[in-house]
Amino acid sequence: MTVGGGHQVRLRVNGVSREVQVEPRTTLADLLRVHLGLTGTHLGCEHGVCGACTVVVDGESTRSCLMLAVQADGTDVTTVEGLTGASTASSTRSRRRSRGSTACSAASARQASSWLCTRC
């Protein structure tokens, strides 16, 4: 839906219904990080290569840097924050930091669907 030059996007994020107005070029990653403050979704290459931005959209592992926010209208999105609670996400981030990486570049689409990379 277009509202005042922006687009209204309605989606469920981690089980909560959300409504956000975005610019047409806004990516799903930016909607999650900037508009909803879900910074567990990282940005690395922003070209669909590294997997740092992977989220689950309607049950499918998705590179959120390659998906426009407007394409996510009506979908059900799960981010790392929505997995098993903040302590798990925090623990995963701590392990990443201790290994000197900002995101799990080892996570392939298959690994991301289970959300638990075995290398970090």
Of 6 and 44, the one with the shorter C-beta distance to ligand FES is 44
Q: What are the residues facing 6 on neighbouring strands? A: 3
46 binds ligand FES (CB under 6 A): yes
Which of 34, 45, 83, 117 binds ligand FES (CB under 6 A)? It is 45
39 binds ligand FES (CB under 6 A): no
Q: Which span (7-15, 37-45, 71-79, 83-91) binds ligand FES, by CB under 6 A?
A: 37-45
Of 45 and 117, the one with the shorter C-beta distance to ligand FES is 45
Which of 1, 10, 23, 49 binds ligand FES (CB under 6 A)? It is 49
Q: Let me know: does 50 contact 103? Beta carbons within 8 Å.
A: yes
Closest CA to 101 of 26, 42, 23: 42
Q: How far apart are the first and last CA of the chain?
A: 40
| Residue 29, amino acid | A
Distance between CA 53 and CA 103 in Å, rounded? Answer: 9
Which residues of the shown chain bind ligand FES in the complex (CB under 6 A)? 43-46, 48-53, 63, 65
